[in-house]
Structure 1
């Protein structure tokens, strides 16, 4: 009977978890294998080296935070306000949350290739927000300001619980969302 391999996606997920916890230096083959409860031999079956894993982790992160988010938001239909509300519901459900995003941002400060990818991701995110806000904000400056505020609030969401005692993240995010959509 053949031994089942740990799926490629599990290595990537564990790598992203390690990245969120400790940055790119925490993404070590031996540590990932230990966390997955497997030998590191399976890693080399899929990736060959750590750099390949890091690249595929960034691919997975980019796909989830851009393409998958837009597909989920657009898939529910509705007007721009409905889709923006849905966006605030979809984002907390992501496998890669704000901690991963912050780790990628920190990594980008030291790696130009990662910085280029981050710029591409942020541009796609802002373009999507601009498109949504522009549907009900005829003033381009107003749509830009709301887009920037929405994006900034999402990036700062890791502080929400600490900054608003007695209110959970979802409650504060909904309050901000309601104001932006007014």
Structure 2
């Protein structure tokens, strides 16, 4: 039975559209399936969005705000060393509340059939790389070194996302110090690693439990 007198909220419709996007791709994000999943009428959708395209644009904006916005913020966080700065960035790869890898993957797939989104994605990738480059530059790397290292850091993570790599968090954490050395040329200190791991202790405990 459809719910009457309640149209939901914009976030409610967006949340359901997000689920469909990451699970089945953009082709599945349609008004009728959304209404059915939420047990609401089709007309309730139009109370919040003018049309399907408006909903899709809202999904893109959510992705940009969360993934790109948080990534840039992490590169700008205070750090006493380049190792600590990269570990701040690595928070994005460990904490899905900061960076949603599933949505990034879905957006990249969607962009293959949407020229305008592909242009947005290219701009977004460059914006993220620029932020990582600026992070290296702050620690006195040359422009050439900062550019190369920024691309290496970013493309490595995008490779993880594009290949849908799944590995235990404990295994990835063991690689973190060597990754830092590879990307920065210096090995992180024990205290830097300890602070990083403490930020993610709840996830480590949950996965090992």
Bin of the TM-score, shorter chain as denominator length: 0.7 to 0.9
Paired position in structure 1 for 2:206: none
Query: How many Å apart are 1:151 and its aligned residue?
Result: 0.8
Listed as ranges, the gaps of 5+ residues in structure 1 are none
Whether the 8 Å contact between 1:11 and 1:32 is mirrored in structure 2 is yes
Paired position in structure 1 for 2:102: 99
Paired position in structure 2 for 1:77: 78
Give the whole-Å Cα distance in 2 for the aligned partners of 1:40 and 1:171: 49
| More moved, 94-103 vs 139-148 | 94-103
Whether the 8 Å contact between 2:153 and 2:183 is mirrored in structure 1 is yes
Cα displacement string for residues 123-146 of structure 1 (whole angstroms, at most 9, x for unaligned residues):
110100100112225232222221
From the CA coordinates, give the structure whose radius of gyration is larger: 2
Aligned length: 178
Cα displacement string for residues 99-144 of structure 1 (whole angstroms, at most 9, x for unaligned residues):
2212222222221110111011111101001001122252322222
Give the whole-Å Cα distance in 1 for the aligned partners of 2:15 and 2:181: 33
**TM-score under structure 2 normalisation?**
0.71
Whether the 8 Å contact between 1:161 and 1:168 is mirrored in structure 2 is no
1:133 and 2:136 matched? yes
Give the whole-Å Cα distance in 2 for the aligned partners of 1:89 and 1:99: 16
Listed as ranges, the gaps of 5+ residues in structure 2 are 187-209
Match runs of 1:49-68 below 5 Å: 49-68=51-70
1:30 and 2:32 matched? yes
Give the whole-Å Cα distance in 2 for the aligned partners of 1:49 and 1:125: 30
Whether the 8 Å contact between 1:134 and 1:140 is mirrored in structure 2 is yes
Whether the 8 Å contact between 1:133 and 1:147 is mirrored in structure 2 is yes
Residue of structure 2 aligned with 1:147, choices 141, 146, 150: 150
Whether the 8 Å contact between 2:68 and 2:124 is mirrored in structure 1 is yes
SS of the residue corresponding to residue 77 of structure 1 reads coil
Query: How many Å apart are 1:73 and its aligned residue?
Result: 5.2
Give the whole-Å Cα distance in 2 for the aligned partners of 1:166 and 1:54: 32
